[in-house]
Amino acid sequence: MSASSRIAFLGTGLMGAPMAANLAAAGFRVTAWNRTAEKSEKLQEHGVAVSLDARTACADCEMAVVMLSSGPVCREVLFGDEGVAAAMPRGALLVVMSSISVAEAGELAARAAELGLRWLDAPVSGGEAGAKAATLSIMVGGNRKEVEAARPVFEALGRPVHIGPVGTGQLAKLVNQLTVASTLVAVSEALLMAEAGGANPAKVREALLGGFARSHILEMHGQRMIDGDFTPGGPAKYQIKDTAAAQALARDLGLQLPMLDLAHDLFSALVDGGGGELDHSALILELRRRNGRLSDGERNGIFERVHQGRKDDET
Active site residues: 173
Buried b (16+ CB within 10 A) or exposed e, 133-149: ebebbbbbbbeeebbeb
β-partners of residue 66 are: 10, 96
Which contacts qualify for 283-290: CB closer than 8 Å, 24 or more apart? 283/184, 283/185, 283/188, 283/236, 284/188, 284/191, 284/192, 284/225, 285/230, 287/188, 287/189, 287/192, 288/192
Query: What's the Cα-to-Cα distance from 152 to each of 4, 28, 144, 147, 298, rounded to whole Å?
Result: 11, 10, 14, 10, 48
Secondary structure E strands in the chain: 6-10, 29-33, 49-50, 63-66, 93-96, 118-121, 124-125, 136-141, 158-164
Which amino acid makes up residue 281? S
Cβ atoms of 63 and 5 closer than 8 Å: yes
Instruction: List the one residue out of 180, 288, 164 whose CA is nearest residue 228.
Output: 288
Cβ atoms of 84 and 131 closer than 8 Å: no
- Cα 36 versus chain centre, distance: 18
Query: Cα separation of 86 and 105, whole Å?
Result: 18
Query: Cα separation of 12 and 20, whole Å?
Result: 7
